Structure 1
């Protein structure tokens, strides 16, 4: 039994400390994702040791201490994304609807054919902006029923899992699409013009993840995210526009890259102090983490934030409504 707990504790130590290695390889960076699951495994390990060896804890005391240290380390990363932490974005008390913007961001899963589920959610919640990721020409055609309500659109259909579409109820200007870091991995940048005349600079991203089937390293994803962060930071000033960033970033909220993105850009995450809002994987409740994000500048307060019902994709849609102060 002692050998069993030594092995389990050693494995938990390995996957906890692996992200500290100076490597961008997916076998290292992937362990930044399941911190919630690792916390659960550590707790099980501690409970089993406490239950099975309660009569003779002495020889196992060192293992218990090691596991408690691992638990504290993992909780330190995910704690801001629990309701126990302090919020960084205040709830809006304003009733001014003309200064609100509502966004649905969703990775539709290119092979998914349940477009009617997404259309029903859009008709129910009526966001100002709908951002679809992994959307190809089939999805572009399937979402045509939304065209009357969303006359302003940006289409970038691709069959490589990185197509993007933007549907808007409000006018868009200064629209640019770019494959900034990787060929075939685009992003959309534009200004959204609210009905009260105010403008918001918007960036929509879907960088490739570090994985054995995509990029072996996280380098390209990190370059795209941190490059945009520096671009946003360089434009900050008294006359700068409010900023909104959204998309499937293929990075979890608590990773060092996402934390660096927020620190460099000066943007805020409305999930802090409210929850993780795990949007992936929709079919496996035991393997979920927050891959879909919305960040914004300090110009906004939060009206609502919610994870919507499944649409046949491996991602849940994320619905956010914010108020421009």
Structure 2
């Protein structure tokens, strides 16, 4: 039994250490995802080894020490996304309905042919903006009736799992589809006019994930997010970035994005809000995101029920409040982080 636990423990220690390398290879970065699962296995291995070891030795103590260090590090990386931390996006205090905006984001899973549940969720939550990704021609047809209530539409239907649809009841200006890094991976960008007349930048992304069947490195995924971050840097723009980013909340790239852009994450101080994989209860990660500039406070943020896809939808409601910018701290990049971001962008686009 001890040998089995040592084997499992060594694998989990290695899985903790591998992502410390800044390499972009998919098999390195994939270990960013299951930090919670690795932490739980480390804890179980630590407790089990204490119970079964018969003749404690120096080697045993070293092994237990390494397990503890790995567990502490995993907890450290995930801790900001628990109620133990101060909330990065404050709760709304004086929300003016004219200055609120709500979004529903859903990766529909292109092969999923159950649109009924998603339409019901849209009806129940009545969002101002609906972003759906992995949308093909079938999904475009099934969601066409949304145009009665959300007449401002941006379409980029594709059959490669990177299609996107944006439906808005709020007026859009300068709405456009861009291919920031890869010619078959689109993103949507627009200015949204709130009911008050104020405008907000909206950037909708769905970069390619790091996986053998998709991409052998994370460079392109990271660069797409960081290009948008650089566009927002120093602009002091009222902005929202949303989508299935195919990256976990606690990743180095997410941290880098926030540092460069100054955007805030409503998950910080609140919870994981795992959105993928909806079909696997014990293997889930927070992949679908909404970031907001410090001009906004939060009214509501929640994961919605299962809708037939392998992703849970996300609903968020934000309020543009006059004193929010002054009272909310925002991340700032160091010179080293700015250089790292630039190198990633150049590696993906050169």
User: Does TM, normalized by the shorter one, top 0.5?
Assistant: yes
Q: Give me the TM-score of the superposition, normalised by structure 2.
A: 0.89
Picking from 261, 269, 272, the partner of 1:273 is: 269
Query: 2:77 is paired with a residue of what secondary structure?
Result: helix
The answer to whether 1:319 aligns with 2:315 is: yes
Inter-partner Cα distance in structure 2 for 1:234 and 1:160: 35
Q: 1:111 to 1:6 in 2, by over 3 A?
A: same
Query: 2:233 is paired with a residue of what secondary structure?
Result: helix
Query: 2:148 is paired with a residue of what secondary structure?
Result: coil
Deviation readout 1:78-108 (Å, 9 max, x if unpaired): 0000111111111012242111111011100
Deviation at 1:258, TM superposition (A): 0.6
- Whether the 8 Å CA contact 2:173–2:190 is kept in 1: the answer is yes
Inter-partner Cα distance in structure 2 for 1:28 and 1:137: 35
Deviation at 1:8, TM superposition (A): 2.0
> Once superposed, what is the RMSD of the aligned Cα atoms?
1.2
- Whether the 8 Å CA contact 2:2–2:49 is kept in 1: the answer is no
Listed as ranges, the gaps of 5+ residues in structure 1 are none
Deviation readout 1:181-236 (Å, 9 max, x if unpaired): 00110000000101111110000000001100101100101111111111110433
- Aligned position for 1:255: 251
The answer to whether 1:303 aligns with 2:299 is: yes
- Whether the 8 Å CA contact 2:100–2:319 is kept in 1: the answer is yes
Query: 1:201 is paired with a residue of what secondary structure?
Result: strand
Query: 1:39 is paired with a residue of what secondary structure?
Result: helix
Deviation at 1:64, TM superposition (A): 1.3
- Whether the 8 Å CA contact 2:24–2:219 is kept in 1: the answer is yes
Q: What is the number of residues matched between the two proteins?
A: 320
- Aligned position for 2:121: 121
Inter-partner Cα distance in structure 2 for 1:94 and 1:130: 25
Alignment of 1:49-128 (within 5 A): 49-53=49-53, 56-58=55-57, 60-128=60-128
Q: Give me the TM-score of the superposition, normalised by structure 1.
A: 0.96
- Aligned position for 2:41: 41
- Aligned position for 1:170: 170
Inter-partner Cα distance in structure 1 for 2:198 and 2:127: 17
Inter-partner Cα distance in structure 2 for 1:190 and 1:96: 23
Inter-partner Cα distance in structure 2 for 1:95 and 1:73: 38
Query: 1:147 is paired with a residue of what secondary structure?
Result: helix
Query: 2:7 is paired with a residue of what secondary structure?
Result: helix
- Aligned position for 1:143: 143
Query: 2:200 is paired with a residue of what secondary structure?
Result: strand
Listed as ranges, the gaps of 5+ residues in structure 2 are 322-350
Query: 2:167 is paired with a residue of what secondary structure?
Result: strand
Structure 1 moving runs of 4+ over 6 Å: none
Deviation at 1:58, TM superposition (A): 4.1
Deviation readout 1:8-53 (Å, 9 max, x if unpaired): 2221111111112242111111000000110111011011112223
Inter-partner Cα distance in structure 2 for 1:3 and 1:121: 50
Inter-partner Cα distance in structure 2 for 1:120 and 1:320: 17
- Aligned position for 2:196: 196
